A and B are shown apart, each in its own frame.
Chain A
């Protein structure tokens, strides 16, 4: 009786020890965590999938929280790579973060397909969003009030759009929506609306305008002739090395092999 008890205890402790070992191993499991810009969802998703396909033992995670949250997450060590759809500020760089430009994203200026306007200048767009031009007839359209659709304060796309058009804090938005999809749906259902959205997520339900005569496309974004564009940035800590797996992922997505995947996601690779 006593003996069986002893044996049992031994077996139990062996099991515990084994589970401890297993615990250690799972902690060691290869993961790459990314956190940040919601606009980068399609491009980082495609890259993560491809990486996982090649390395079956690696778990890739992407947490769509927004550029600022992503930058904060990487600086606090909560993720391996932060994703930002704006360039880092001097302040953020000084706090020990490094930026690597992964790709360029054109911000498309979108209107309803029923709208006859096809081309606006950057100045006209700025004037429209500042409320200086309020009727479509002033820019060659129908006699109808312009309905300005934008994104919420803090959004990377809004920040990108407002910094390019130099309309920071002065946009007279009629609607401030919280996602690119909402902007596209709203513009698609209101013939007098104008909005902005990431070029990668543009659909057929809306019409993309040319800016200063240049239609947004991969080529025009890459050569810089299309004016409304912003960088997609990988944010890492300057003083800490990435984990082996994360470094491998980083090297992969910045290599020439990834270019096709990046353009497949609708943005222009920086390489």
Chain B
């Protein structure tokens, strides 16, 4: 009887292990596939020419595959989105976590959740029909599809992740800290910014990194508002991102062009890995401190 119990125990253990391995297997499969299909083009084009080449003409008679414009566009736009989105998200989170009345907190929190649930193609569509013509009129440029439009869309898109993760870490600050600060005569606002925020520092940093990850990996929405011409990045020029470079040409691509698209995906993958590593670093530090 006992041995039967043990057997069931072991069986369940085995099944769970197998299920766990499916996830790991997927990650490994994607990684291996990306490396295998991404490397040939880099070898053929040359790593330096590929990463630092300034022109992308994938279907020209004499094609050139330089992805520096895409890399810089992705970095600049993400930085811009962080610059716009983080202050808004951060102060919203502090307000919702510490200052807002319960009713307001519930209402705004559900609005934020809803914002997170909107599909990216809807962000793109609204951007295309409202933001792009708006930029064209406000800044008096010939065409509104530009890096600025993409940056604004990204800034809005990263708000939910920044707000939600920040709120979680602000809520987790022990009440004793705040009570002590208040008892010593600090005003509530002083307490929140001098005590609560520093205590939740790692969690807020993780929120920002999560926002970076969301921004750099977004394809659909930015594709619809950025114009997609492979120019070097400039605020009012049409630009192409690492993600949109893959997405816009993949369907018709062939030969070296297709391989080069896989190489771009590999570069993007490395970026995301770096971001994940940073995220883990912040979260781990948070845990060790806690």
Residues of A near any B CB (own CB < 8 A): 65-69, 72, 144-147, 152-156, 168-169, 173-178, 182, 185-186, 189-190, 192-193
Contact = CB atoms under 8 A, between A and B. Distances in A.
B228 A154 contact: no
B59 A169 contact: yes
Contact of B251 (A66, A144, A169, A176): A66
Contacts of B227: 174-176
Contacts of A155: 252
B249 A147 contact: no
Interface string B247-265: 1110111100100000000
A152 B133 contact: no
A185 to B, nearest CB: 7
A176 B229 contact: yes
Interface in B24-79: 57-61
A174 B238 contact: yes
CB-CB nearest 4 A-B residue pairs? A154-B252, A169-B60, A145-B142, A175-B227
A147 B133 CA distance: 13
Contacts, number: 82
A177 B142 contact: no
A144 B6 CA distance: 81
Contacts of B11: none
Given A66-B252, A174-B143, A175-B143, A190 B136 contact: yes
Nearest to A193: B143
Contacts of A190: 133, 136, 143-144
A173 B240 CA distance: 12
A177 B228 contact: yes
B221 interface: no
Nearest to A185: B128
Contacts of B252: 66-69, 152-156
Contacts of A146: 142
A154 B61 contact: no
B238 A175 contact: yes
Nearest to B254: A68
B132 interface: yes
Interface in B193-248: 223-224, 227-229, 238, 240, 247-248
Contacts of B61: 168-169
A132 to B, nearest CB: 17
B132 A189 contact: yes
Given A175-B238, A186-B145, A153 B251 contact: no
A156 B252 CA distance: 9
B129 A65 contact: no
A176 B145 contact: no
Contacts of A152: 228, 248-249, 252
